Amino acid sequence: MSIQASELILNPDGSIYHLNLKPEHISNDIIFVGDPDRVNKVTKHFDSIEFTTQKREFKTTTGTFKGKRLSVISTGIGPDNIDIVLNELDALVNIDLETRTIKKEHTALNIVRIGTSGSLQKDVPVDSFLMSTHALDINGMLRSYNTDSIAHPKLEDAFVTHTNWNSKKTYPLIVSNSQILEDKIDSEIVFKGMTATAGGFYGPQGRVLRLSIQDPNLNNKIDSFNYKGVRVTNLEMETSAIYGLSKLLGHHACSMNAIIANRALGEFSSNPGKVVADLILYTLNKIVE
């Protein structure tokens, strides 16, 4: 049965609606960045560029690095943007856009996020690299989907108990990364931990300007959570959505974080651009090994 035009939206040229891409425009190996300006900071290292396009905050460039074909895509900020990007990327490889039918053979994408984040732990310093072994979804976007197959109920329940999680909020969901990509990108210089993904930058991450927040102590509770060695090391706005949708759609995902702030110590990097640049080169070289 074909998917209706209102559900799978295409542009007049046949490209997928938000990303403005056709299947031939992307590689199966993809790097996510948040900021469209960061796409060029990755692709300036490429040997060659074959395609680039931008629509809204979604910029895509495909080329080669050390002979390997890669695509770099800017997602913008937040789980809602990730919902668009991952569903549309999956459609490009697993749905026939002409017949609007699901392909019989599934294609798995390899997705690596290169992003910035703030550490919640004193021992994860500013200017370090951190890999997200798990992602803690505290924003609720993934709960729109059937997530039982990817959840970690014991870990989630332990977190809810530890934080005295407000029952009016969406129940937290914890998703693991791709072990295949973790093994490929890991090294002795990389910190590891569980990344919490919030649905906003201010109140949802415990920041107070003029508005009071529901639980002023939530960040301290998150910082002190530890279940069988799994603790929350950092807080950002995309990783849980990337991990959750990738698992559900049958793709591989791993999130690499440039730690530019330490909220436990109140510190911010004196040169955040350098740690991001260093992480870009580190990740590119690991991907092509």
Whether residue 1 is contained in a domain is answered as: no
Whether residue 78 is contained in a domain is answered as: yes
CA–CA dist 61, 53 (Å, integer): 7
CATH number assigned to the domain comprising residue 221: 3.40.50.1580
pLDDT, residue 267, reads 94
pTM of this prediction? 0.96
Cβ neighbours, 10 Å, residue 5: 9
Condensed to tens digits (0 to 9), the pLDDT of residues 209-258 reads 999 999 999 999 999 999 999 999 999 999 999 999 999 999 999 999 99
- Over pLDDT 70: what percentage of the chain? 100
Condensed to tens digits (0 to 9), the pLDDT of residues 181-210 reads 999 999 999 999 999 999 999 999 999 999
pLDDT, residue 163, reads 97
24: pLDDT confidence band, cut at 50, 70 and 90?
A: very high
Whether residue 148 is contained in a domain is answered as: yes
Q: How many domains does the chain have?
A: 1
- Three-state secondary structure along 206-270? CCCCCCCCCCCCHHHHHHHCEECCEEEEEEECCHHHHHHHHHHHCCEEEEEEEEEEECCCCEECC
31: pLDDT confidence band, cut at 50, 70 and 90?
A: very high
Whether residue 39 is contained in a domain is answered as: yes
Beta-carbon-side half-sphere exposure of residue 52 (alpha carbons within 13 Å): 14
Tokens 């509770």 found at = 221
Q: Structural domain of residue 266, as residue ranges?
A: 23-288
Strands 95-96 and 190-197: unpaired
Report which DSSP code applies to 17: T
Whether residue 18 is contained in a domain is answered as: no
pLDDT, residue 263, reads 86
pLDDT, residue 264, reads 87
> Which tokens hold the place of 199?
């649905």
Whether residue 6 is contained in a domain is answered as: no
- Region 260-286: mean pLDDT is 95
Whether residue 282 is contained in a domain is answered as: yes
Whether residue 10 is contained in a domain is answered as: no
pLDDT, residue 1, reads 83
Condensed to tens digits (0 to 9), the pLDDT of residues 111-123 reads 999 999 989 999 9
- If you average pLDDT over every residue of the chain, what do you get? 96
- Over pLDDT 90: what percentage of the chain? 96
